[in-house]
């Protein structure tokens, strides 16, 4: 594979720490969510993953639409990343993506979403490791 980009971020303090990209384009305070006993006064890895996946997936839709010469019009991807406690110990993630392509016929939108799921780097990275459910909003 040919490398086309590298993102670099340093974190100090884990889930209660601080994250900063090496190019100074991202700087965020991290905090445990209230649901995990934290203050919730900062973002967390699951929110960052959800934002990244949604942005990447929407771009993948636009990429495959461009290849097929389809104008997608308005698009929206909502991403939900769930953190699960495993019975045997440790944790796992699950993802739900809700995709809105209101300017397209349902069958065209469905085909684009399926194709996007095959080319999206996030989808490819988690395939077989994380359950990903994708719903097309009406």
Hey, what domains does the chain have and what are their CATH numbers?
Answer: 1-43 (2.20.25.10), 45-137 (3.30.300.20)
Determine if the pTM surpasses 0.85.
Answer: yes
pLDDT at 25: 95
Mean pLDDT in residue range 62-77: 97
**What tokens were used for 30?**
């991290």
Q: How many CB atoms lie within 10 A of CB 108?
A: 15
Task: Kindly tell me if the per-residue pLDDT of 138 is higher than 80.
Answer: no
pLDDT at 76: 97
CA atoms in the 13 A half-sphere facing the CB of 110: 4
Cα three-residue angle 66-81-5, rounded to 5 degrees:
50
pLDDT at 61: 98
**What tokens were used for 114?**
């399926």
User: Mean pLDDT of all residues in the chain?
Assistant: 96
């Amino acid at each position: 594979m040919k490398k086309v980009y590298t993102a670099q971020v340093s974190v100090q303090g884990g889930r209660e720490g601080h994250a900063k990209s090496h190019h100074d384009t991202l700087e965020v305070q991290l905090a445990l969510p209230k649901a995990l006993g934290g203050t919730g006064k900062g973002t967390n890895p699951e929110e960052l993953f959800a934002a990244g996946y949604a942005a990447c997936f929407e771009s993948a839709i636009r990429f495959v639409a461009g290849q097929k010469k389809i104008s997608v019009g308005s698009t929206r991807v909502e991403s939900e990343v769930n953190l699960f406690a495993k019975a045997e110990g440790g944790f796992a993630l699950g993802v739900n993506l809700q995709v809105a392509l209101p300017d397209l016929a349902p069958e065209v939108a469905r085909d684009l979403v399926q194709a996007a799921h095959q080319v999206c780097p996030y989808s490819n990275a988690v395939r077989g490791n994380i359950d990903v459910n994708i719903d097309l909003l009406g």
